[in-house]
Amino acid sequence: MPVEFEDRGQALENEYFHRKERELIEKMRAKLADEKPAHTGFSCPKCEGNLKETDFGDIKIDVCDKCSGVWLDPGEMAQIMEKDKDGGGWFGGLFK
């Protein structure tokens, strides 16, 4: 009898943690959906994925949703280089 009681306790515990895990996953999905970057309407030149506009610091960059390639609009590289001079290593933060 004690073995059956212990098994039931483990089953209930597993069910509880499974339910909590599902709730966390749903919250994370909802948060990601709210933060989802806007689709720019452009395809990635490398893999034909969709480019999404993303904020990196105060510069908007385009990131591919498939290959994670980073694409810069005219003038953005100059902004990045300027930040690199001021902050020392800002450009390296793009590739972490």
Residue 19's pLDDT is what? 94
According to the model, what pLDDT value does residue 41 have? 75
pTM attached to this predicted model: 0.48
69 and 32 inside one domain: no
Residues 17 and 64 placed together within one structural domain of the fold:
no
CATH number, domain of 71, equals: 3.10.20
- Do 1 and 12 belong together in one domain? yes
Distance of CA 53 to the CA centre of its chain: 13
Q: In the predicted model, is pLDDT for residue 44 greater than 70?
A: yes
Same-domain pairing of 31 and 57: no
Q: Give the span between the Cα atoms of 55 and 63, in whole angstroms.
A: 10
* Domain membership of residue 89 as a residue range: 39-95
